[in-house]
């Protein structure tokens, strides 16, 4: 990921800092993931879209920031600055990409305070679907859900980039094919909606696109197999790529 654009909240992404950045003065921003008070020293894991970074608040070096850190709660939004240092050998966390470093905070700005969340964001314990949907904006902060969103983005981007390289243009929505296919909420139906001319392409082009990209990526996106109802229609005179009922989608003649 590219470094953040210059702004007053961050100079670096929290999850991308490494040992070769030690010694730099950096500023990061994000949610308070966890907070630990060790009787003087306060440790906070700050979280942004790239991952976690451990913050250290020392009362003798930054008393105001230390006092403010003592009042923070989970999911508060903060922006902090300080020097990135290497952790003690005994404190290195090999399971964390930023586990070799920590940020000794010299300044803290609280950007927003949070009410007590209805479920734990920092854990992946089972949560009822109704509660998850009611607080969807909180559910999407969880690591597993964040990874799902990024996977979906990567799948759609790869499909669109491939089709663009093959000469297809997005944004033409003539005929009922795109409208009907877009009723299915998956990346493959999105492609059918954005590129309706696929239905009139040559057999070889359709086979190449579907065989090498759509079916493989749809399998990844759905987990339990290809979503056959959203694969673009192939007429019976062409080589069928998947078993799709002829009543599911209109024929090319019907879309003209």
Question: What are the residue boundaries of the structural domains of the chain, listed by start?
Answer: 14-112, 142-255
What are the pLDDT digits (tens) for 137-180? 999 999 999 999 999 999 989 988 988 888 887 654 444 444 44
- As a whole number, the mean pLDDT across the chain is 77
- pLDDT for position 244: 36
In the CATH scheme, what is the code of domain 14-112?
Answer: 2.40.50.140
- pLDDT for position 255: 42
What are the pLDDT digits (tens) for 73-88? 999 999 999 999 999 9
Distance CA 27, CA 134 (A): 33
Residue appearing with tokens 């670096």: 12
Distance CA 123, CA 100 (A): 22
Across 46-50, 95-99, 110-114, 237-241, least confident range: 237-241
Distance CA 73, CA 76 (A): 6
Q: pLDDT-based confidence at 36, cuts 50/70/90?
A: very high
| Torsion-angle region of 214 (φ positive above 0: left; ψ -120 to 50: alpha; else: beta) | alpha
Share of the chain above pLDDT 70, in %: 66
Q: Note if the pTM is more than 0.85.
A: no
Distance CA 124, CA 144 (A): 8
Q: Is 93 helix (H, G, I), strand (E, B) or coil?
A: coil
């Amino acid at each position: 990921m590219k470094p953040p654009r210059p702004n007053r909240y961050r100079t670096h992404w929290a999850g991308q800092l490494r040992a070769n950045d030690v010694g730099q003065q950096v500023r990061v921003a994000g949610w308070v993931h966890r907070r630990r008070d060790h009787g003087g020293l306060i440790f906070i894991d700050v979280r942004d879209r790239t991952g976690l970074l451990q913050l250290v608040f020392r009362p003798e070096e930054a008393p105001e920031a230390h006092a403010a850190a003592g009042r923070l709660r989970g999911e508060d939004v903060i922006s902090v600055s300080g020097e990135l240092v290497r952790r003690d050998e005994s404190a290195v966390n090999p399971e964390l990409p930023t586990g070799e470093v920590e940020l000794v905070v010299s300044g803290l700005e609280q950007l927003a305070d949070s009410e007590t969340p209805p479920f734990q964001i920092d854990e992946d314990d089972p949560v009822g679907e109704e509660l998850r949907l009611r607080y969807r904006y909180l559910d999407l902060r969880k690591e597993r859900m964040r990874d799902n969103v990024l996977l979906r983005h990567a799948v759609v981007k790869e499909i669109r980039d491939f089709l663009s390289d093959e000469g297809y243009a997005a944004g033409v929505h003539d005929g009922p094919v795109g409208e009907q296919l877009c009723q299915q909420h998956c990346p493959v139906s999105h492609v059918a909606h954005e590129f309706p001319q696929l239905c009139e392409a040559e057999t070889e082009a359709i086979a190449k696109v579907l065989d090498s990209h759509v079916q493989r990526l749809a399998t990844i996106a759905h987990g339990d197999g290809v979503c056959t109802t959203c694969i673009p229609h192939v007429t019976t005179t062409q080589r069928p790529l998947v078993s799709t009922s002829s009543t599911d989608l209109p024929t090319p003649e019907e879309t003209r």
